[in-house]
Structures are given as structure tokens and as C-alpha cells.
């Protein structure tokens, strides 16, 4: 986060960071890593947005990274240049093979887990249909 603030986005007033709900993804993690003044300085520039616990697209990203780790990065790679080439070759093969992630979180499961969010949408849709 400090690199994001100081190196990658030094001119940004506010940086919006999208995170999943992993317990380590909290402002307190910065206080565990840095002195309080430094943690506060970094946090003043950050705005955290958390994805829903049961419907996170980040879960799919994590699945794909896990696949890459087991299929491509399962050994010591001696240099950054070789690493870059290996990952590019793996990515080309995944795209060529049209690899997919089988997402098991259905609309029905979403309605069951996130019912309150769906309830706030249903009346608006019904009103539009009636109008």
C-alpha cells in the first residue's frame, strides 16, 4: 500500500482500493506493519471498497492464480526474464485452450445468501414494469 501511495500514484488525492473480505485486508494491517504516523499517512490517501463475501470476482482471480502457481510456477525459476517468458507461454496456452473457471455461485445461491440486497432491487423492478 505504501508503494501504491508513494510510487505508483503519488499525485492522486484519493486511491480507491477494491479488496475481498480477507481478514488481513484491513487498515489495522498497516498499523501492524508501520509506525502509527506512517500508517495514518498512508491511510489518508486510501479508500477501501470490499467485494461481497459470497460473490467476489476476486475469488475467480485467486482460483486462476492458484492454477498458474500449480501449472507454471511449481518450481524454482532462476531469473525474472525466464519467469516472464514462462508466464506468457502459460497464458497463451490457457487462452488457446479457452480455459474456464466453473463458477458454482448461482443466481439462486446469491438470492439465498444476499437476500437483503435482492429485496431492495425487486420493488424498483416491479414499479418500472407497472409504470
Q: What is the pTM of this model?
A: 0.46
Domain identity same for 71 and 88: yes
Domain of residue 34, residue span: 2-50
Is the separation of the CB atoms in 59 and 68 below 8 Å? no
Domain identity same for 77 and 116: yes
Domain identity same for 107 and 64: yes
Counting the structural domains of the chain, the total is 2
Q: Determine, yes or no, domain membership for 130.
A: no
Domain identity same for 102 and 75: yes
Residue ranges of alpha helices (H) inside the chain are 2-3, 27-33, 36-43, 57-71, 80-96, 107-113, 115-130
Of 28-37, 54-63, 110-119, the least confident: 110-119
Of 75-84, 92-101, 118-127, the least confident: 118-127
More confident residue, 124 or 82: 82
The half-sphere exposure of 56 on its side-chain side, counting CA atoms within 13 A, is 16
Amino acid at each position: 500500500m505504501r508503494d501504491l501511495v508513494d510510487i505508483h500514484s503519488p499525485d492522486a488525492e484519493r486511491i480507491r482500493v477494491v479488496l475481498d473480505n480477507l481478514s488481513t485486508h484491513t487498515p489495522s494491517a498497516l498499523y501492524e506493519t508501520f509506525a502509527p504516523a506512517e500508517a495514518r499517512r498512508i491511510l489518508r490517501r486510501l479508500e477501501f471498497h470490499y467485494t461481497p463475501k459470497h460473490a467476489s470476482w476476486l475469488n475467480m482471480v485467486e482460483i486462476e492464480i492458484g492454477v498458474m502457481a500449480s501449472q507454471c510456477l511449481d518450481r524454482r525459476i532462476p531469473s525474472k526474464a525466464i519467469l516472464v517468458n514462462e508466464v506468457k507461454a502459460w497464458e497463451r496456452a490457457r487462452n488457446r485452450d479457452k480455459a474456464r473457471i466453473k463458477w458454482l455461485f448461482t443466481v439462486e445461491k446469491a438470492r439465498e445468501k444476499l437476500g437483503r440486497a435482492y429485496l431492495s432491487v425487486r420493488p424498483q423492478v416491479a414499479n418500472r414494469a407497472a409504470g
